[in-house]
Chains A and B, each alone.
Chain A
């Protein structure tokens, strides 16, 4: 055996590599079938970052499809409700540069909630069918109303309303939503120390 190896070193090496490669390849192949990942884990992670407004402003029918599209290489800056924060989080996750929000798909706006002017509602159920999160309550020829706590502010119910009785109201600041703001950043003139102003005068 050893004699054969020393006689045909090239052949021996080849055989050894093939002999190693074949079982490991088989092992990997088996693992790929046996431990196949259900769904797309990257898409799940992306979906967890997206704001779940389900507004479709990105051009996809909901956040999940957009997450899958991003996993497949779609641009990450098409989500206006998420805004810069979401783009930044996605960029961190995917380890890419964070581009500015694509204005084509809309701008980052204040959070709103749909409000149905109930006197004008004719009970057509069109908005109920449009709502992606089932946040509108009502029945045919009955007045409809929005469950404000479930509304994502996606705007999708505004378009189908035949009598234009749905308003998107910005969320009002209340004691529950109010919070302290970061102190205003230091104004620049405070950073000048005495010698700075002297040099500035000389330069002038």
Chain B
């Protein structure tokens, strides 16, 4: 018998599990419409690969994983895509999110699918690829893409594989019934996980309040002894990943770390079955087992339900008495959240729908002041100081919250459950965690803005500098040119070119101009120019300018004079002829 350990704290709430296990798993059938949120897992939302009006077969890919941490989505039944639009989804915010809507044709036709002949012949990467393309995300509650979790960090070996059969939250029996009815399937899935991870030991942990499940698993594992079934006393929340690891191995996952850091990988029993279906039969994850329970339903039971089935469909099958049900909870009474719209669909992580009566799950009484009794600290399975965190959360002292390891809180609700003042502690922690994350995001964004702003400043300074440098270069070049021209004793080459061009134009006008007026005007301009040049020369003589300039001016005046005489003679010739 393996030694089991204990974790700090924990509580013993009323289990209320017997109601839903009176009958076995029942199929929920195919509803008229399936609504598949693109984000049913942790990570990036999937990207649709179908368009409205497409006909899809059961098991066909309708949205593919977008990025590394993401999961593929498949059609749970055959039918026509009637919309890709925002629909209510099961989320505490009650906000709608993009979903693919399929109008089922009730034919339930499979797309061709095939598993591998023998998974033992495949290497780990091949199997991981299969698991990834089957869209499997952790079925325990968080919905982390399984392939990513199995991949782990490169170069890190897995010592212990833990299969989580612990269903500690009251009311929920989805894993319990799965272990009772499909123990062999679970063990087959575990064998595949073992083949991928090659762990030194494999433990399947469950509490002693599930004797039928224990018996079924023991019987199934009698032939194959690759898994050790470990049972331990019932306590909430032993199903938490870190708590289960501590129970089974005595090791604690370091704060802020992952089980992988201490060589452990945890997988849910439901995930193991999904892996088996994907690898052996090539079936993607399109259905799951969901408990429908609570006093407001006539026959609480477990359903094998297609993903995307509206909750209303399941509640109708279970015989909901709407007048007795004030609110609908997805998940259990401890960690679940209220679903505002019963049209919200079942997703990969929906393990339970709870329809309680008001007497069964009364609204929390008004919170009273904290009396510092310390019961919450005794109950906390993460060994935190809930009352201290509560004060810091009220005062929004984020730094202190982080120092007191707020992020190790698993939000199990044990502290709120024991609180004699009925303080909704978990809500304080959730809000504070979100605020801190928001602050981190804001800070990252402002850092980015600062970098961009500074980059822009330097760019503009550089541009100004370049412009200034160009201007200076142009100025220097112009000065050099004039200097060169005057040094060579000639006139400014630009001015000379302009003069030449003008003279040419004048000559053309004179030559081609049949009317003497044009020639006369050309003569006039030349005369004016000569006059101006002579004036300028006289001026420079008078003011005693540089000898070079004077000579240049004399030269240009001389040339103009020559031109004028030429033009005059040409004009007189033209006049004579």
Interface of B is mostly: helix
The answer, yes or no, to whether A134 is at the interface (CB within 8 Å) is yes
Tell me whether A182 is interfacial, beta carbon within 8 Å. Answer: yes
A8: Cβ under 8 A from any B Cβ: no
Give the distance in Å from the alpha carbon of A34 to the alpha carbon of B490 in the complex.
59
Contact of B367 among A51, A173, A183 (CB under 8 A): A183
Residue A4 at the chain B interface, CB threshold 8 Å: no
Known contacts A173-B95, A190-B366, A54 near B453 by CB under 8 Å: yes
Give every chain A residue within 8 A of B448 (Cβ-Cβ): 150
The residues of B that contact A133 with a CB separation of less than 8 Å are 449, 452-453, 456
Contact string against A for B residues 420-446, beta-carbon threshold 8 Å, 1 for contact and 0 otherwise: 000010011011101101100010011
Q: How far is the CA of A22 from the CA of B453 in the complex (A)?
A: 47
- Known contacts being A133-B449, A133-B452, A175-B39, is A181 close to B368, with CB within 8 Å? no
Q: How far is the CA of A200 from the CA of B325 in the complex (A)?
A: 40
Residue in B368, B424, B457 whose beta carbon sits within 8 Å of that of A183 in the complex = B424
Please give, as numbers and ranges, the residues of chain A lying within 8 Å of B435 by CB-CB distance. 179
CB-based nearest B residue for A182: B431
A145 within 8 A of B: no
Set of chain B residues within 8 Å of A54, measured between Cβ atoms: 449, 453
CA distance A178 to B93 in the complex (A): 7
B367, A175: Cβ atoms closer than 8 Å: no
Indicate if B92 sits at the interface (CB-CB under 8 A): yes
* A6 part of interface (Cβ distance < 8 Å): no
Give, as a whole number of angstroms, the nearest-CB distance from A177 to chain B: 8
Asked if B450 CB lies within 8 Å of chain A CBs, one says yes
Proximity string of chain B (443-473) to chain A, C-beta cutoff 8 Å, 1 when within and 0 when not: 0011111101111110000000000000000
Contacting residues, chain B, for A52 (C-beta < 8 A):
446-447, 449-450, 453
Q: Is the CB of A181 within 8 A of B453?
A: no
Once bound together, how far apart are the Cα atoms of A52 and B450, in whole Å? Answer: 6
Contact status B454-A180, CB under 8 Å: no
User: Is B97 an interface position by the 8 A CB rule?
Assistant: yes
Binary flags per residue of A47-58, CB closer than 8 Å to B gives 1, else 0: 100111110000
Cα(A135)–Cα(B453), bound, Å: 10
Q: How far is the CA of A152 from the CA of B452 in the complex (A)?
A: 11
Bound-state Cα–Cα, A61 to B495, Å? 47
B411's nearest neighbour on chain A, judged by CB, is A180
In whole Å, how far is A110's beta carbon from the nearest beta carbon of chain B? 14
Interchain CB contact under 8 A, A174 and B367: no
Q: How far is the CA of A183 from the CA of B448 in the complex (A)?
A: 33
CB-based contact A132/B456 at 8 Å: yes
Assembled-state Cα–Cα distance A62/B456 (Å): 12
Greatest chain B CB density within 10 A among A51, A132, A179 is at A179
Whether the pair A175, B97 counts as a contact (CB closer than 8 A) is yes
Instruction: Name A62's closest neighbour in chain B (CB-CB).
Output: B453
Contact residues on A (Cβ < 8 Å of other chain), bracket: 20 to 34
**B434, A150: Cβ atoms under 8 Å?**
no
The residue that A150 contacts in the complex, of B39, B367, B452, with Cβ under 8 A, is: B452
A-side contacts of B434, CB under 8 Å: 179-180
Q: How far is the CA of A132 from the CA of B434 in the complex (A)?
A: 29
Complex Cα–Cα for A175 and B94 (A): 9
Give bound CA distance, A152 to B451, whole Å. 12
CB distance from B429 to the nearest CB of A (A): 9
Q: Is A186 an interface residue (CB 8 A)?
A: yes
Check B367–A134 contact: CB distance below 8 A: no
User: For window 31-89 of chain A, which residues contact chain B by CB distance below 8 Å?
Assistant: 47, 50-54, 62-64
Tell me whether A180 and B449 are in contact (CB under 8 A). Answer: no
Complexed CA–CA distance, A135 and B452 (Å): 9
**Does B18 interact with chain A (Cβ within 8 Å)?**
no
State whether A175 and B452 are in contact (beta carbons under 8 Å apart), knowing that A51-B446, A180-B431, A182-B393 are contacts in the complex: no
Is B156 among interface residues, defined by CB-CB distance under 8 A?
A: no
Q: Tell me if B91 counts as interface (CB < 8 A to partner A).
A: yes
CA distance A192 to B183 in the complex (A): 57
Q: In whole Å, how far is A20's beta carbon from the nearest beta carbon of chain B?
A: 43
With a cutoff of 8 Å between Cβ atoms, the chain B residues found around residue A51 in the complex are: 442, 446
Q: Is the CB of B454 within 8 A of A64?
A: yes
Q: Measured between alpha carbons, how far is A54 from B454 in the docked complex, in Å?
A: 10
Chain B's nearest CB lies how many Å from the CB of A174?
A: 7
- B residues less than 8 Å from A181 (CB atoms): 431
Task: Assess the A134–B455 pair: CB atoms within 8 A.
Answer: yes
Q: B38 → chain A, closest Cβ, in Å?
A: 11
A47 surroundings in chain B (CB, below 8 A):
450
CB <8 Å contact, A174 and B95:
yes
CB closest chain-B residue, reference A180: B430
Contacts of A175 in B (CB 8 A): 39, 91, 93, 95, 97
Q: Tell me which residues across on chain A come within 8 A of B452, comparing CB atoms.
A: 133-135, 150
Min CB distance A130 to B, Å, is: 11
Smallest CB–CB gap between B337 and chain A, Å?
Answer: 10
Query: Cβ of B427 and Cβ of A180 under 8 Å apart?
Result: yes
Closest Cβ of chain A to B444, distance in Å, is: 11
Residues from chain B with Cβ under 8 Å of A152 in the complex: 445-446, 449
Q: With the chains together, A26 CA to B369 CA distance in Å?
A: 62
Q: Which residues of B contact A173 (CB under 8 A)?
A: 93, 95
Q: Is the CB of A183 within 8 A of B427?
A: yes
User: What is the CA–CA distance of A62 and B458 in the complex, to the nearest angstrom?
Assistant: 14
State in angstroms the CA–CA spacing of A203 and B88 once bound together: 53
Is the CB–CB distance between B431 and A179 below 8 Å? yes
State how many angstroms separate the Cβ of B91 from the closest Cβ of chain A.
6
A190 near B368 (CB under 8 angstroms)?
A: yes
What is the CA–CA distance of A54 and B424 in the complex, to the nearest angstrom? 40
Minimum C-beta distance from A190 to chain B (A):
5
- Among the listed A150, A186, A187, A190, which residue makes an inter-chain contact with B449, where contact means beta carbons less than 8 Å apart? A150
A-B pairs with lowest CB-CB distance, top 9: A179-B434, A52-B446, A180-B430, A52-B449, A133-B452, A178-B93, A52-B450, A182-B431, A180-B431
Name A residues whose Cβ lies closer than 8 Å to a Cβ of B.
47, 50-54, 62-64, 132-135, 150, 152, 173-175, 178-183, 186-187, 190-191
* B positions within 8 Å CB-CB of A: 39, 91-93, 95, 97, 366-369, 393-394, 424, 427-428, 430-432, 434-435, 437-438, 442, 445-450, 452-457
Besides A63-B450, A182-B432, 10 new A-B residue pairs in contact (Cβ under 8 A), listed by A number? A62-B457, A132-B453, A133-B449, A150-B452, A152-B446, A179-B434, A179-B435, A182-B428, A183-B428, A186-B368
5 A-B contact pairs sorted by A residue (CB < 8 Å): A53-B446, A174-B95, A179-B431, A180-B92, A182-B394
